[in-house]
Structure 1
Amino acid sequence: MQTLNERDFLARRREAAAITRVLDIDDSGYRGTPLYPADLVAFCRRQGKGPGA
């Protein structure tokens, strides 16, 4: 079984944030998890990036 290296792991975190934002998913259920980049999603929402921007 292949393990993810750090670069791949960080890329997956960014992908999760991007999908959450682009699809305008309510992330309140997983926002507090240690590995979810909630600050990145919040920043994008404040900047008006994503749907309806």
Structure 2
Amino acid sequence: MDINVNDRLGLINSYMILAYCYLLPGLRFLIAASKLWAKPLGLNEPGQTRGSPVTRTR
């Protein structure tokens, strides 16, 4: 679940991804697999935590 405050692009982006998933049913699996891959690497962090950057680089 995502919570957006004063950010309409987040909601629009969610609707766009949903529309893509209706067009390409296999996309749901690809998105889930990529999230499972990214989470242990710390790449699936939605925001900052104690001074770390939003996106980590290697």
Task: Give TM class, smaller chain.
Answer: 0.3 to 0.5
Give the alignment's TM-score, normalised by structure 2. 0.35
Structure having the higher Rg: 2
Compare relative contact order (CA 8 Å, sep 6+) and give the higher one, 1 or 2: 1
Give me the TM-score of the superposition, normalised by structure 1.
Answer: 0.37
